[in-house]
Amino acid sequence: MATRKASGAFLSLFILLGFLVLSLFSRHAEGAIFRVTQNGAGLRDGSSWTNACDAGRFPQLLSGATPGTEIWIAEGRYRPGSPNRPYSAFILPPGVSLYGGFAGNEVSVEQRDPLAHVSVLTGDLSLDDTVNSHGVTERVEDIVGQNSYTVIRCEGEPREGDVSIPAPERPQSVIDGLVITGGNSEVICYASLHGESPIKAEDPVIQTGGLHIENARVEVRQTSFTGNQGFRGGAVWNASGVTRIQKCTFSANRAIMSGGSIYNWTNVGGTGVAAESEMTITESLFSSNNARDDGGAIDNHFSEVSVRRCTFSENTAGNGGGIRNYQGKMTVEACTFSGNAAVGDFYRSDIRGGGIYNQGSNTDAVIVNCTFYGNSADFGGGAANWGKMLLINSTLSENSAAHGEELADGKDYLTEVVNCILWHGYPGDEIYTDQSYPVDVRYSIIKGGYPGEGNLDVSPLLGTPSWNGGPTRTCALLPGSPAIDSGTSSGAPVTDQRGIQRPQKSGFDRGAYEVSVRKFLVMRAPFPGVFRFSTATEQFESGEGTAWGFPEGIPVTVTFLPQAGKRLKDVLVDRRSVGAVSSYTFPNLDRDHEIETVFMETLSSSGGGGCSAGSGFFSFLLLIPLLLIGRRR
């Protein structure tokens, strides 16, 4: 009898301990941090680097994660499934954060370095693509065999009847410091294009090769999308989602229909998706993307998009080599469009908007402080408007088109141009209009002249696109330019494309560039107070802020001051490395410059240190308005 009582007590204690362990695990899973490495280690449960989850178990770990969970991904290449399973995709639940760029010994997200330790999520299921040293499929043409149709899917919670949680109220998912590559939905895309239906009703809808977002909230940071192919949106398809994209790179992606990199879509009047999509894109680079029909980099369809401080280079599409906005609301601010082209869609019709094509009776586009240089189309080498568009304080130069070298305007649509420069160095009409009356142009410089208040026909004395401070290349106004101080203050933005406050002198300058009374050193560092400035008359610490103004022509020395536990990894001057120097001297400060410092953690004896992410995939800087700089005036 005593033996039975003891056994019963032991069993009760065992059950109680089991419940306690499950309870602790449940609390740990909510807001837990899991680590993933290529080969895994120890228990492979992801609880620590010494027990890291391996690549094979990673997709299951991710799909079962709860809101608040962080997953740290070490350097390496990761697939969502095994070969011959093209519907395999990484499933990112609402409220879960993915961080890449780890070496495998860090104790905080701040210690990782996505540039040094490249974490790749690839659709290359058979690992037979042509790839670079990090396992990245750099072009769609490098895809071999059947890859995953899409690499990551981020969707809202399952619907209950006809009710679902609106995207703005969902927990936000995060993708940070990764490379997404090699997704390819070509088979399904071409079948759909020809009216075939190769998928079953229960199979997911496939539109993009890279990141599928539907009725979800997602923030994407410091992530590169390369070599992905989709039907609409080669790299990203956003349907009724609220999406923020910051400091990302989109290169060599392709859409068989529209949106070479991004398709932002709202299914107005259709079935299924109904809520309007919202997308904000800042400080990102779009290069060498292609769409067969519309929007070489971005196609915004019945949705709202805001694009700020981005660069669009060498993208191509049938219409809208850089961006096509169709029946949507669009704001484009402080961006540069160079070398983009509208080459004609499948039917070789229209060929509008080398940089931007704005289309539709319900369209509303505002373009502020932008530079268009060297873009081409049939109608509107720089921009084409077949809707409603305001173009203010922008520079359109050396673009080419058969009709409207810089700008084209459709019949019965509204185009307004204020404080702009439209100029190129060869014969041709700067503005084409399909209307019986001229475009509303005021206080602008236009080669050949144009009717309207304050317009001029005289060379604006423009420089070529260069790093003149700020996150994007600009065309500086050279000394003596008639654009200086001659614009109107009515509706003018308070800063220029670089972030310099307007006006600097006695009036507002025309175009995207405001000539400053001082030359600026634009500083970028992962923490404040790391600079000391020395001139002929004084020496002082930097304090806070990113922009420092000095009288033109004086010598300035900048000394770099690592904080305790940090050491200097690199110094970049105007985006070029000068090495881990302790100081740098400008003997004659004749123009604006950028300086970026990259620091590393000093490794402790316990091995808990790592690289500090002092830089993203590339640097982006904002200038503080001159009146707010205080002593730096």
Summarised one tens digit per residue, pLDDT across range 502-549 is: 999 899 999 999 998 778 888 887 776 788 888 776 776 665 456 777
Higher-scoring residue by pLDDT: 350, 596: 596
Residue from 540, 535, 533, 541 nearest 554 by CA: 535
Residue from 338, 323, 334, 322 nearest 369 by CA: 334
Q: So what's the pLDDT on residue 178?
A: 98
Q: So what's the pLDDT on residue 204?
A: 62
- Computed over every residue of the chain, the mean pLDDT equals 85
Region 427-441: mean pLDDT is 89
Residue from 121, 68, 119, 120 nearest 93 by CA: 68
Predicted confidence (pLDDT) at residue 156 exceeds the cutoff of 80: no
Name, of 16-25, 185-194, 235-244, the range with top average pLDDT. 235-244
Residue-wise pLDDT for 46-59, tens only, equals: 999 999 999 999 99
The answer to whether 229 and 254 are in contact (CB under 8 A) is yes
Q: So what's the pLDDT on residue 250?
A: 98
**Torsion-angle region of 361 (φ positive above 0: left; ψ -120 to 50: alpha; else: beta):** alpha
Region 234-251: mean pLDDT is 95
**At CB < 8 A and 24+ separation, what contacts does 435-441 make?**
435/409, 435/410, 435/411, 439/407, 439/409, 439/415, 440/414, 440/415, 440/416, 441/417
Q: So what's the pLDDT on residue 616?
A: 34
Q: So what's the pLDDT on residue 333?
A: 98
Query: Global pTM?
Result: 0.82
Q: So what's the pLDDT on residue 323?
A: 98
Predicted confidence (pLDDT) at residue 203 exceeds the cutoff of 80: no
Higher-scoring residue by pLDDT: 575, 408: 408
Region 198-207: mean pLDDT is 59
Predicted confidence (pLDDT) at residue 290 exceeds the cutoff of 70: yes
The answer to which of 7-21, 215-229, 265-279, 372-386 has the lowest mean pLDDT is: 7-21
Give the model's confidence band at 32: pLDDT under 50 very low, under 70 low, under 90 confident, else very high. Answer: very high
The answer to whether 300 and 324 are in contact (CB under 8 A) is yes
Q: So what's the pLDDT on residue 165?
A: 64
Q: So what's the pLDDT on residue 437?
A: 86
Q: DSSP string covering 174-198, please? A: EEES-EEE--B-HHHHHHHHTT---
Residue-wise pLDDT for 477-505, tens only, equals: 998 999 999 999 999 999 999 988 999 98
Higher-scoring residue by pLDDT: 628, 385: 385
Burial-class residue 417 by CB neighbours within 10 Å (0-12, 13-18, 19+): buried
Region 15-33: mean pLDDT is 48
- Alpha helix locations (H) across 394-499? none
Predicted confidence (pLDDT) at residue 20 exceeds the cutoff of 80: no
Q: So what's the pLDDT on residue 606?
A: 38
